[in-house]
Amino acid sequence: MESNQKAVTTEGKLKDIISHAKEYGFVFPSSEIYDGLAAVYDYGQYGVELKNNLKNLWYKTMTQVQGNIVGIDAAIFMHPLTWKASGHVDGFNDPMIDNKDSQKRYRVDHLIEGHASALEEVGNKQEAALLVEKMNSLLAKDDFDGLRNLIYDNKIACPISGTVNWTDIRQFNLMFSTKIGSVAEEADVIYLRPETAQGIFVNFLNVQKTGRMKIPFGIAQIGKAFRNEIVARQFIFRMREFEQMEMQFFVRPGSELDWYKFWKETRIKWHAALGLPTEKLQFHDHDKLAHYANAAVDIEFEFPFGFKEIEGIHSRTDFDLKNHQGLSGKKMQYFDPEINQNYIPFVVETSVGADRLFLAHLCNAYTIETVGEGEEQKQRTYLKFHPAIAPVKAAIFPLTKKDGLPEKAAELVEMLKYDFNIVYEEKDSIGKRYTRQDLIGTPFCIAVDHQTLEDNTVTIRHRDSAQQERLPMHEVHGRIAYETSFKRIFEKL
Ligand code: ATP
C-alpha cells in the first residue's frame, strides 16, 4: 500500500509540475489549438527567461570565465557527408520493438527501463537492478534475441494494449531528413542535425587558425538538435526538437583522460553551484560506450521519475576529426609547437540539454509549504529558483494606486529595468501580488509605501522566507545585483 502511494505521489508530482508550467507561462504544448504535437513544446513568457538565463550562464562559464574556450553558432543544416563521417547515418540507431496489437513502437531500453521503474516503485529494487544489469550487458553485445527473450521472460507488456505480442527487434535511424533545393531542381536529402557537436568539429581549423588557439582549447555552442525519438515521454525530458549546449575540448593525445576527469568534476560542481542539491546529482558511468568514446559518464539528476541523465561527458578520442579528414580529404591536424609535432587532437566533450536542465531546475524549485497555524493554516506554492536564473528578478509594487506611490515606484522601475528583468504591478491586494510572484519564482518583491515618500526606504520581501526588511531605495540595485551575481556562482566552482 505504502509503495503504491509512493508511485501515485511520484507521478502526481510531475503532473503538478507540468500543469504549473503551463498555467504560469513556462511551457506550452506546441500548436496546442490543434491538440499539440507529440514531444514538441513551446516556451512561454517566463519559460523563455528561465531558459535564456540557464543558457547565458552556461555560455559565460565556458567562454568568459574559463578563458581558453570560444563560442560559435553553426548552421543546423550541414553537408550530408558530415553525418556519414560522424557515424550517424550508419550507427545512430536504437533497437526498437513493435507491439502487434497496439501497433505502438518502443525503444527497447525504454520499455525495459519502464518495467524496472515500475518494479522499483512497488519495492522490488533488487529485481529492478538485476533487470537493468541484464539489459545493459545484452545491449553492449547488440544481442537482440537476448533482449527479446528478456522482454518475454519478464512478461513486459505494452502499456497501451497490455499484451506481450511483440515483433522482432529492429533498428531505426533517429535522424530527421528533408530536402534542400526547390522541388523543380534536383533535390538532395539532408538531415536536421541530431547533435550540435559536428558543427564544432567541421569548424575546428577555422577557429583554431583565425583565433590562434593553442591546445588545450575548447569550442562551445548552443543550438537546436532534432531526434525522431520514438517514444516521447516525460514532458520536456525527451523531445523531438530540443536544445543542446555542447563544448568540445581539444587536447593533446594521451592527456584526454586527465581532461575527462577535470571536466567531469567541473561540470557536476557547476550544477550544484546553480542550486541543484548535491544529493540529487550523481555520476553514472556508461556500460556501453558509444562508437566514438573511450570513456563516458552521465551526470544524472533525481527527477520525480528517478535519477536520469542531464549531461553527458565523453572522451571522444580523435574519432570525429579523423573521419572528417578521411571523408573531406582536408587535413584536420594541429601543429603543437611545444613538442614540435603534428597530430589530430583528441576531444573531451561536455554536452548538456538546455531543456533537461530547465526541467531539473523546475522540479527542484517547485515547493509546496504549509504555513500558518490552526484555522489559518494553508498551503503556499512557490518556485525557489536560484536568483540568478529566476525569470523575473524583482517585482515592484506601490502599496496603493494613489498618493503619489505609483510615481515613486516608477522611479524605482527606472533605476532597475536596464539591468534586471522586473515587473511592475499595482492591481489587487499586496498579498495577492506576492502570491503571483511566488508562483513564478521571483526572488524579491519591493513595496513602495507611504514611508517611502518620507524617507526613501522600501520594503523588500524575500520569496523563500517571506520575511521583509526595510532598505534605502538607492541600495536596491546593489542588493539585487549581489544576489543575482554570476560572479558569486562562479566563485563556488
Ligand atoms: P538519452 O540516453 O536520454 O536519449 P543521450 O545519451 O542520447 O540521451 P546525448 O546524445 O549524450 O544524449 O546528448 C547530450 C544531452 O542532450 C543529454 O544529456 C540531454 O540533456 C540532451 N538530450 C538528448 N536527447 C534529448 C531529447 N530527446 N530531448 C531533450 N534533451 C535531449
What's the pLDDT tens digit per position in 140-188? 787 889 999 999 999 999 988 999 999 888 887 889 999 887 655 556 7
Distance 226 CA to ligand 1 centre (A): 10
User: How high is the pLDDT of residue 188?
Assistant: 77
Q: Residue 220, SS3?
A: strand
Cell triple for 209: 587558425
Cα 313 versus chain centre, distance: 14
Q: Is 94 left (phi over 0), alpha (psi -120 to 50) or beta?
A: beta
261 DSSP assignment? H
pLDDT digits over 89-117, tens only? Answer: 876 777 888 888 887 888 898 899 989 98
Which residue has its alpha carbon closest to ligand 1 atom 8?
309
CB 389 within 8 A of CB 274: yes
Pocket probe mutation, ligand 1, options 94, 200, 235, 244, max atoms within 8 Å of Cβ: 244
Distance 280 CA to ligand 1 centre (A): 19
User: What top-level class would CATH report for the domain 3-84+189-363?
Assistant: alpha beta
Nearest Cα to 72, choosing from 203, 268, 193?
A: 203
Which residue has its alpha carbon closest to ligand 1 atom 9?
312
pLDDT digits over 230-275, tens only? Answer: 766 689 999 999 999 999 999 999 999 999 999 999 999 999 999 9
Residue 429 to residue 56: CA distance in whole angstroms: 35
The amino acid occupying position 340 is N
Residue 103 half-sphere exposure toward CB, CA atoms < 13 A: 0
Nearest Cα to 127, choosing from 111, 147, 112, 146?
A: 112
What's the pTM? Answer: 0.87
H or E stretch covering 106: strand 105-107
- Where along the chain do its domains lie? 3-84+189-363, 93-173, 392-490
Q: How many residues does the chain have?
A: 493
User: How high is the pLDDT of residue 3?
Assistant: 38
H or E stretch covering 356: helix 354-365
Does the bond joining 216 to the residue before it have cis omega, within 30 degrees of 0? yes
CB 139 within 8 A of CB 96: no
CATH 3.20.19.10 fits 93-173, yes or no: no
* String of DSSP letters for 116-148: HHHHHHTT-HHHHHHHHHHHHHHHHTT-HHHHH
pLDDT digits over 432-488, tens only? Answer: 999 999 999 999 999 999 999 999 999 999 999 999 999 999 999 999 999 999 888
What CATH code is assigned to 392-490? Answer: 3.40.50.800
Q: Residue 184, SS3?
A: coil
